[in-house]
A and B are shown apart, each in its own frame.
Chain A
Amino acid sequence: MQRIGVFVCWCGSNIAGTVDVKAVAEALSHEPGVVFSTDYQYMCSQAGQDMIKASVAEHHLTGIVVCSCSPRMHEATFRKTATAAGLNPYMVEIANIREQCSWVHKDMPIGTEKAIILGKAAVAKVHLNAPLTPGESPVTKRALVIGGGIAGIQTALDIADAGFKVDIVEKKPTIGGKMAQLDKTFPTLDCAACILTPKMVDVAQHENVRIFSYSEVSEVKGFVGNFDVTIKKHARFVKEDLCTGCGACVDKCPMKKVPNEFNLGMDNRPAIYIPFAQAVPKVATIDPAHCNMLKNGKCGLCARVCTAGAIDYTQQDEYVQEKYGAIVVATGFNPISMDKFDEFAYNQSKDVITSLEFERLTNAAGPTAGKLLRPSDGAHPHTLVFVQCVGSRCTACAEKGKEYCSKICCMYTAKHAMLVRDKYPDVDVYVFYIDVRTPGKNFDEFYRRAVEEYGVKYIKGTVGKVVPENGVLKVQASDLLNNKQLHIDADMVVLAAAIEPDRSARPLATMLTASMDTNDFFTEAHPKLRPVESPTAGVFLSGACQGPKDIPETVSQAGAAASKVIGLLAKDKLMGNPCVASSNEAMCNGCSSCANVCPYGAITYEDKEFRMPDRTVALRRVAKVNPAVCQGCGCCTVACPSGAMDLNGFKNDQILAEVDAICK
């Protein structure tokens, strides 16, 4: 039997104005187990807390009920008081007689009666409280960053600079991501390569960073502080440690007609290739789909020219097991397919391109060495039409476009238009826009410069149809401000394609039990207060995998994610929330209902030996809750048919006791 002390707070007149606190203390003193009951003006004050501490000692209290303001206000306070008095902090229950009683009722007898009932419910619950101790788990002091774009690179650098080990897993042969493909960056127009490649080198040379390029995460087990991850290293048929990146093999490879993915298929690369000059690691990779040696054993030229002896046609995919304390997702984005938007004739004309293709076309390292040439015939174009919001803000058809604003297009389109006009003043540039969205530092100024100083023709309206005919693109569009339909003969049309999360994100989310929204962007734990954390403990979000972002935002979020990781890795042990689910093995059926509803993947199963009544031993499948992962929602307790699953702090019998006390 508990020895319970009841402490009724006046909260000045906040409670005492509508509730007869002395009557409440008196009434509760007769409840079973209550050995002490009193009232005080401000229970949360130092004097009030001292009174509680003294009472615990004097009356040998084992449980405390405080009738006061909302537990959301002072539960933590009174739990600390209990701890100071030598009690387990979870032996405290609060009866909310202010927000949910004195403040919402006007009549003293009614308020008093209700306060007594709420107090009785709290007393009934405390009878069934048990001391709870948060679980502890060790922290592996290494972080995993999935994705080696600017988001992943920045996160990894920040974590590494703080002194922790970091691994980057990048599925492409080089890190760098989308930013490596860009030409200039808005709103300052500094060149992407100039600011990115030094970071790529920094991260590659950092003593705390390892890079797994051409690799993917294939399995994730474990939980915050203790993830077990399997990384699949694709065979690149080149020994990374031996390859010097000299490029002799690339030059000699006879199979030169493979569409170059780095230039979005606008030119070709050999079967053995280094994606771009500043690739990190600067190591060649053989594309097995196109290599004659790997396909039919005929060739072997690259091995012959490689003085380092790095070529290895027998290389196999390799699996690496590693332990991590935290995982950062930085899987980035891709432009959506333009296949469903053929009113723009993207599939019919080479001169209709996406903005990312345009980046390559204006990049000095791109397929035209930075010269603006019409892809179909290499001629100098005279009229360019940019179309914004292609597939963004599109609710008509889910298979086609995306409901959200892709956020970056207004600015990069202004950048493209401005750069064209800057280099080629003879080129007419039209930009069709629905709205121009430029909320960012120096963003609107940038866009206005494109209009006012560079003479880009911004037209409110959009393009309805592009008809390629006799070497020109006949563009039919609306000009809403002048209420006209325009017919423009253009040389090139550039589509600001909506962006979407990388395809690898969905299976990764399943592996991590991290939640996603309907667009496959990772969901943050709280949209305002925890924007870089996934609801799954120990999983953090960096960059466009969480939503469309430009580079400055991505970098700041990358830093924020890193600081969260650093905060986690700095701990030697993790203290859990003790109000977590736990399963009574003797009653568990092993039916998986609980695991089906658990949003955190906190429940696993193991076969356990049980002694049967007939003295035989039987193996039974039983649920195990990982207290470090469980967040204590209690969903499993209702899914469990046998009642084996219960929730500490909110046990079935505790809640039923409250129900009974209220309904008495």
Chain B
Amino acid sequence: MNVRYFPGCTLKTKAKDLDAYARRSAEALGVTLDEPKDWQCCGGMFTSANDEVATKLSSVRLLKDAAASEQPLVTVCSACHNVVKQTNHAMQTDAAFADRVNRYLGDDAYHGEATVYHYLELLRDVVGYGAIKEKVVNPLKGKKIACYYGCLLLRPGSVMRMDDPENPSIMEDLVRALGAEPVIFANRNECCGGYMTMESPALAQKKSEAVIRNAKANGADLIITACPLCRYNLNKQSDDLPIVYFTELLAEALGVKEEPHE
């Protein structure tokens, strides 16, 4: 099957791994990722104020493209996913906002017709973890993997509608499908410190440390994440515990992990 695929800015620069492994794994799973032409950066965060229109236009353009192609729109970066899904939700539910956006974007009005999936949702709901399990060639036996969700992937739960925001299992179930053992730890959905790392490195350090400490205390060998910023913050505080993108783990299990070209 074909889906529209939005990598986002960071996956073209500092998080090329996240992108490369996502592409290779998709191919191995029989999913073709079509990257729309001329996409723009999503902006990194969704401004919740309903009078902010301009900052949401790039996401709506992307969504319109997906709606026109009648394919779901898939993102892999947690931040992109959050922005695009929240924008789509606003277009569906806030008629006044949608009206203003549509005035900017020309004749064919958009009201949230596109379906937005996180790559994880694509794996779970479209490909199916059962099918993935069958395609695993390198089962990651014996590995204890902590799945770090951070904040953007699941929240707000009423909009993301991906998993229980307090007790998620979408990544853990993936880890099980890949043959490894998930490590459940309470700080998996607590913030890493996010962009505060610039202004208040101490805060980011404290938050990231708490995540790593909690994962370690529960016996993790490895932390996986879907967010380049989370990975950046956690990496800074981690000495021995590797922090990798979930797509890398997937590619490894599917036997398509080559060293990415730098």
Contacts and interface: CB of A to CB of B under 8 A. Distances in A.
6 closest Cβ contacts across the A-B interface? Answer: A342-B167, A342-B166, A467-B186, A469-B217, A470-B217, A345-B186
Interface in A333-348: 339-343, 345, 347-348
Contacts of A467: 186-187, 190, 210, 214
A468 B215 CA distance: 11
Contacts of B115: none
A341 B186 CA distance: 12
15 contacts: A339-B164, A339-B167, A340-B166, A340-B167, A342-B164, A343-B166, A345-B186, A397-B158, A465-B186, A467-B186, A467-B187, A467-B210, A467-B214, A469-B214, A469-B217
A438 B162 CA distance: 40
A648 B214 CA distance: 73
Interface of B: 157-158, 164, 166-167, 184-187, 190, 210, 213-214, 217-218
A469 B167 contact: no
A466 interface: yes
A283 B236 CA distance: 64
A234 to B, nearest CB: 33
A341 B217 contact: no
Interface in A239-271: none
Given A345-B186, A469-B186, 17 more contacts: A340-B164, A340-B167, A341-B166, A342-B164, A342-B167, A348-B184, A348-B185, A348-B186, A397-B158, A465-B186, A465-B190, A466-B186, A467-B187, A467-B214, A468-B186, A469-B218, A470-B217
Interface in A450-506: 465-470
Contacts of B184: 348
Contacts of A348: 184-186
Nearest to A343: B166
A465 to B, nearest CB: 7
A340 B158 CA distance: 13
B37 to A, nearest CB: 40
A313 B164 CA distance: 43
Nearest to B215: A469
Contacts of B158: 397
A328 B217 CA distance: 53
Contacts of A345: 186
Contacts of A341: 166
A343 B154 CA distance: 13
A345 B184 CA distance: 10
A347 B167 contact: yes
A35 B66 CA distance: 84
B210 to A, nearest CB: 8
Contacts of B218: 469
B165 to A, nearest CB: 9
A468 B185 CA distance: 8
Interface string A203-231: 00000000000000000000000000000
Q: Which of A397, A465, A467 has the most CB of B within 10 A?
A: A467
A343 B184 CA distance: 13
A340 B167 CA distance: 7
A339 B185 CA distance: 15
A285 B123 CA distance: 46
A467 B213 CA distance: 11
Contacts of A469: 186, 213-214, 217-218
A339 B218 CA distance: 20
